[in-house]
Amino acid sequence: MRSIIAAIDSFNEKIGQLNSLLVLPLVGVVVYEIIMRYLFNAPTVWGFEMTMFIYGVHYMLGLALTENREGHVKVEILTSRFSKKGQAWFNIIGYALLFFPVFGMMAYAAVAYAWTSIGLLEVNNTSWAPPIWPVKSLMALGFVMLFLQGLNTFLKNIQMLREIRQ
Amino acid sequence: MDFMNPEFLTVGMFGLLIACILLGLPLAFTLAAVATLFGLIDNGWNASGLFDIFANNCWGLMNNYTLVAIPLFILMAQLLDRSKVAEKLFEALYVVMGRVKGGLGLAVVVVCTVFAATTGIIGASVVAMGLLAAPALLNKGYQKELTTGIICSAGTLGILIPPSIMLVVYGGLTGMKETSVGQLFAAAILPGLLLASLYFIYIWIRCVINPSLGPAISEEEASKFSAAQKWSMTLKSLVPPLALILTVMGTILAGIATPTEAAALGAVGSGVLALFNGALTGKVVYESCVNTLKISCMVMMLFIGGKFFSTVFLSMGGGDVVVDLLVGGGLSPSMALLVMMAIIFFMGMFIDWAAILLVTVPIFMPIAMELDFNPLWFSMLVCVNLQTSFLTPPFGYALFYLLGVAPQEVKMTHIYKGIMPFVGLQLVGLLLLFFFPDIITYLPSVFFGS
Amino acid sequence: QAAKREKFGVDSRHESSTRVKFKPSDEKFRWKMTMPWSKGLLFYDIAVHFCDSVRLATAGRLDIKPFSAGEIVPAMQTFDAVSKGSVQVGHDWAGYWKGKDEGFVPLGDMPFGLDSEGYNIWLYERGGLELAQELYGNFNLQVLPCGQTGQDMGIFSNKRATKMDDFKGMKVRTVGWYMDILNRLGAAATPMPGGEIYLALERGVLDGAEFSAPAITYPMGFDDITKYVLSPGVHQPGSQCYVFFNKDAWNELPEDLQEIVKICAKETQLWSYNWIQNLNSQAMAKLTEKVEIVQMDPETLIEFNNVSQKYINEIKEKNPNAKKIIESQEAFKKDFENWRNARANVTPWSHETYATGRTN
Ligand code: NA
Ligand code: NA
């Protein structure tokens, strides 16, 4: 089990960390658009779309990393009073009941959504008309990664219960 | 089946959400789970249809340009933080405010108000101020409740003071000339400043009564700084970041960049400041990037969960249920206004402003016209009221954003307690706008004629 | 010897309608409709009008509940959601689905495309509807024309432009084919997202922006922040909307309901045109208090037309569906010219205006 946990963690962390650098080209594209429009009177046809897609991919591929680092905000008014064991049980039940069915389906639906797009080799409905099937595929990847990371949270809590027992 | 009527579903959805929030699982997941359950009940357990709609909504969020302001402002805050520019700024403000009780808190309100004029997305402003100002206030011994109250409330001014994405959406929804985006922008300036002033006065009075809430610099420490030193501190530390914020504003006002684009200039500017402070190392940039990712994903995950929730709420007819409360009773104009405001306030406790607007505006606006209310005045009452939705427990986005970025010792209970007086102040502001409509209509009449 | 003259036209539906075997049903359907329109746009009212007509005509047997943009799915996800069957009905302006197939653009309207009269004749009498069905059908959709809003206004601008040179370097917000065409004409067109437009126009980030028909544009308040409208709206002479159904859902409808839906769509097509055009003249009266309507000169219009045609010819070469649809429309334009010419010069101006020599 440890090795599964470690593998998922390291996969999601690596992709997440690399992906975090996307914010730099994001700034770059926006600034380039301002310069081209204001100084050269030549706005691009692709700047706004490119910006949205970079940001879209940026946060989609970061959802799992954020889950790994417990960055998704929660209200621990009740749970902070529980014992370590209680908290672990709480998370195990919570993730089994709420997270798995919903984000399992979500990952599946996102893959199906991307699959339809790939089948069409879909392009955007704009003048620039870039292919959007790769972006939709990355959205699907983001949800698959998030699902795996949730699975990891679940496994980590089971692991913790075992350790408490020993 | 009777339990499937929209009234039951709406009440059940809210009830379950409250219960689940207390469970202590990540909120965004909880929102999505509650949405899934009720979405399935509503559409006859067609899971693939429901999740296809969710996927479409996620794709829609990936095509939303204004959201780009979120990572840009977070990156800016990260760079300002890591290069100690922010720390020096607040240190200088602390000294400059001298023996004024609650002085730093007051300064933060002013900074937030200026900042509000540069962004229209509250995820961006609350998170940025939470990163920069919260540690500063706490370090100086400000009470946790007061600190969180100041940042959530003042940070949320960005949604009211133009530019504002909320007003853009509102203008598009009413489809009336009297409430075009330009008119709304002009109308929102004074109410925004009014709220800022109310916060300002409140903080000052509370700190005068009980100085331990927001301690000023000690006499001993203050005497260490001569007037000349204070001036040089101000120049060195206060001017660069303020110049940065004013540059961002300036590029918007001068027609160089749109508000979202200006956020990118802010990020570049903060990088330049870091460079001058010798803090722009590869490590700082990398860490800023990773933190920016983590925080903007926290915000976006809430957007995703909230979107699922409001989609299901709207598609099962929850909006009609809420609004049916209003229709049918032969209410007097002021009573009708009160009920409409109460509905918006109540909905604001649970769902996001965009969903509330989609539901209420198209129904309330004709009623308001029937009752002969000034459309701009009525609209601004709605918008100021909606501003509370970011702050009202149990579900207030600003509160969760702050929880996501505030120092570890700040707990949700501090934030819930801290925000209450400020919600009260917003209601006071709402009353003032009700009794003095000129606060709303004055600027539009100057800009556009009456 | 002259050929024998016969009655000139036939109502092709008549014969089949007399032979129909009625199978009335009292099954009830509760469907949802999604669309790219927010509630402040008159397009939303057109979609709602269709739903109302259907509910009234079927006595509630088919109850379609309209949801505005963002209530169920975001504006631009209307097509996907209905195609997959997650929502049963959608309303649109066809050009939005350009990314699925460029052929959708001429179904909705294109620069120097068909006007309202043209769409009505082309769709119902010249096989346009069949071509539309072929294209929507590829995506598991059943389509009907359902809303015609006529010509768009021109470009709201702070720069007065009537000659080709005036347009050079102008920063204009528009999207799609018109953006490419404007860029070829030397303008600096940009697809700036909706939420940013107003402030950008006010502050001078943009020189101009186009939106829609006068009544639909009026609430935007663009006249508060600009001085001129560079007319005419060459980019869209007659915006055509459609209602479309997921095919599996459509096939579940009994025949009588299908027939009612078809009639209601046609009724909406008629109503929307009259409603919007009448509102347009009222809106123009208010708009012109603040902005001056500026007409491009004929040479500029011809230049616009030339560049547009060249662009459209390139599209035709790249996309066979677009080619088929555009060529069908071009054939109609050509065939119709003889009558357009013969009937010219009695444009119903008021007597006072006509007397000034304004005949066409
Ligand atoms: Na703002
Ligand atoms: Na709230």
Residue by residue, DSSP assigns C168-189 as TT-EEE--HHHHHHHHHTT-EE
> What would the pLDDT profile of B255-269 be if each residue is shown by its tens digit?
899 888 999 999 999
State the DSSP H helix or E strand holding residue C89, giving kind and residue range, or none if neither: strand C89-93
B163 upstream amide cis, omega within 30 of 0: yes
User: Could you tell me if residue B363 is inside a domain?
Assistant: no
Give the per-residue pLDDT at B437. 95
> What would the pLDDT profile of B299-309 be if each residue is shown by its tens digit?
999 989 989 99
Give the per-residue pLDDT at B3. 56
How many structural domains compose chain B?
1
Residue ranges making up the domain that contains B224: 67-316+376-448
Give the per-residue pLDDT at C307. 97
Cβ-contact C126, C216 below 8 angstroms: no
Angle, helices A47-60 vs B282-315, to 10°: value is 90
3-state secondary structure B32-57: HHHHHHHHHHHCCCCHHHHHHHHHHH
CB spacing of B314 vs C67 below 8 angstroms: yes
Closest among C141, C44, C26 to C86, alpha carbons compared: C141
Interface contact A30, partner B, CB < 8 A:
yes
Nearest ligand to residue B306 Cα: 2
C74 to chain B: closest CA residue:
B60
Tally DSSP H helices, then E strands, for chain C: 15, 11
**Quick one: DSSP state of residue C345?**
T
Query: What is the pLDDT confidence band of residue B325, given thresholds at 50, 70 and 90?
Result: low
Long-range contacts for C248-254 (Cβ within 8 Å, ≥24 apart)? C248/C85, C248/C140, C249/C31, C249/C85, C249/C88, C249/C89, C250/C142, C252/C29, C253/C29, C253/C62, C254/C23, C254/C25, C254/C27
CB spacing of B56 vs C40 below 8 angstroms: no
Residue ranges making up the domain that contains A42: 2-165
Give the per-residue pLDDT at B327. 63
> How many CB atoms neighbour CB B177 within 10 A?
18
User: What's the mean pLDDT in B185-195?
Assistant: 95
Give the per-residue pLDDT at B332. 82
Calculate the CA C134 to chain-centre distance: 18
CA pseudo-torsion sign B126, B131, B134, B140: negative
User: What's the mean pLDDT in B89-116?
Assistant: 88
Cβ-contact A79, B21 below 8 angstroms: no
Q: In chain A, where do the E strands start and end?
A: none
Integer CA distances (angstroms), B144 to B126, B304, B421, in order: 16, 29, 14
Interstrand relation of C228-231 and C89-93 (parallel, antiparallel or unpaired): unpaired
Calculate the CA C177 to chain-centre distance: 15
User: Regarding predicted confidence, which is higher, B221 or C134?
Assistant: C134
Query: What is the pLDDT confidence band of residue B100, given thresholds at 50, 70 and 90?
Result: confident
Residue B330 clears pLDDT 80, i.e. is over it? no
| 3 state SS of B12 | helix
Give the per-residue pLDDT at B8. 80
What b-and-e string marks burial along C41-62, b requiring 16 or more CB atoms within 10 Å of the CB?
A: bbbbbbbbbbbebbbebbeebb
Give the per-residue pLDDT at C282. 96
Query: What is the pLDDT confidence band of residue B239, given thresholds at 50, 70 and 90?
Result: confident
Long-range contacts for C94-99 (Cβ within 8 Å, ≥24 apart)? C94/C132, C94/C240, C94/C241, C94/C242, C95/C176, C96/A125, C96/C36, C97/A125, C98/A125, C98/A126, C98/A129, C98/C176, C99/A122, C99/A123, C99/A124, C99/A125, C99/A126, C99/A129, C99/A132
Query: What is the pLDDT confidence band of residue B420, given thresholds at 50, 70 and 90?
Result: very high
Give the per-residue pLDDT at C184. 95
Average pLDDT over chain C, rounded to whole? 94
The radius of gyration computed from the CA coordinates of chain A, to the nearest angstrom, equals: 20
Residue B2 clears pLDDT 60, i.e. is over it? no
User: Regarding predicted confidence, which is higher, C209 or A80?
Assistant: C209
Chain B positions touching A25 (Cβ under 8 A) are none
Chain A positions touching C193 (Cβ under 8 A) are 48
User: Regarding predicted confidence, which is higher, A110 or B77?
Assistant: A110
User: Could you tell me if residue B2 is inside a domain?
Assistant: no
User: Could you tell me if residue B357 is inside a domain?
Assistant: no
Calculate the CA C263 to chain-centre distance: 19
Q: Given a contact as 3+ CB pairs under 8 Å, which chains touch B?
A: A, C
Residues 264-303 of C with CB under 8 A from B: 286
User: What's the mean pLDDT in A92-116?
Assistant: 96
> What would the pLDDT profile of C20-49 be if each residue is shown by its tens digit?
887 878 899 999 999 999 988 999 999 999
User: What's the mean pLDDT in B109-121?
Assistant: 86
Interface contact A46, partner B, CB < 8 A:
no
> What would the pLDDT profile of B359-373 be if each residue is shown by its tens digit?
788 888 888 888 889
Give the per-residue pLDDT at B1. 43
User: What's the mean pLDDT in C296-316?
Assistant: 96
Which residue, among B53, B167, B183, B353, would best test binding to C if mutated, counting the most C CBs under 10 Å from its CB?
Answer: B53
Residue C286 clears pLDDT 80, i.e. is over it? yes
Residue B165 clears pLDDT 80, i.e. is over it? yes
Q: How far apart are CA B442 and CA C230, in angstroms?
A: 32
Q: Please report, rounded to a whole number, the percentage of residues in chain B having pLDDT higher than 70.
A: 97
User: Could you tell me if residue B237 is inside a domain?
Assistant: yes
Give the per-residue pLDDT at B397. 87
| Residues forming beta bridges with residue C148, ordered by sequence position | C240
How many structural domains compose chain A?
1
Cβ-contact A61, A15 below 8 angstroms: yes
Cβ-contact C221, B181 below 8 angstroms: yes
C173 to chain A: closest CA residue:
A43
Residue B4 clears pLDDT 70, i.e. is over it? no
User: Could you tell me if residue B360 is inside a domain?
Assistant: no
| Residues forming beta bridges with residue C157, ordered by sequence position | C208, C228
Give the per-residue pLDDT at B354. 83
Give the per-residue pLDDT at B328. 59
CA pseudo-torsion sign B387, B390, B393, B398: negative
User: What's the mean pLDDT in B425-443?
Assistant: 95
Record the tokens describing residue B274, joined without a space. Answer: 């870091």
Chain C: give the shortest CA distance to residue B262, in Å.
12
User: Could you tell me if residue B324 is inside a domain?
Assistant: no
**Is the interface score ipTM higher than 0.90?**
yes
Query: What is the pLDDT confidence band of residue B319, given thresholds at 50, 70 and 90?
Result: confident
Calculate the CA B175 to chain-centre distance: 25
Query: What is the pLDDT confidence band of residue B326, given thresholds at 50, 70 and 90?
Result: low
Give the per-residue pLDDT at B259. 85
